[in-house]
Amino acid sequence: MSYDLMVFEPSSAPKERKAFMDWYEQQVQWSEDHEYHDPSVSSEALQRFYSELSETFPNMNVDDDIFEAMEEAGTDNRLTDYSLGSAGIYAAFAFSVAEEAYTT
């Protein structure tokens, strides 16, 4: 089980609930013409957010040596699955760090 959050560019999203939910559904179709692991596709604000957040919750797409070191240190539960879009970042955290992820 994971704890999922989406952070988005407020200027890109509709303010009314129905329109927002339609926009959200479109965002999570992952149909933009790029890979969703490259932070450079995101807005500058989202790039800064990702850079800061991934210091505490590293991207789970790390090489094997880093993963093994984190496993040995007992910090592999901080590895997070990110999907990086132009107007939003979707992050799936381990449920065991949900409260810390939320407050961070």
Mean pLDDT, the chain cut into blocks of 10 residues (104 residues total): 94 96 94 92 96 90 73 77 95 94 93
Question: Residue for token digits 């559904």?
Answer: 25
Single pTM value for the model = 0.83
Residue-number span of the structural domain to which 40 is assigned: 2-103
Number of domains in the chain: 1
Token digits of residue 93: 């955290």
pLDDT of 41 reads 95
Three-state DSSP at 23 gives: helix
58: helix, strand or coil: coil
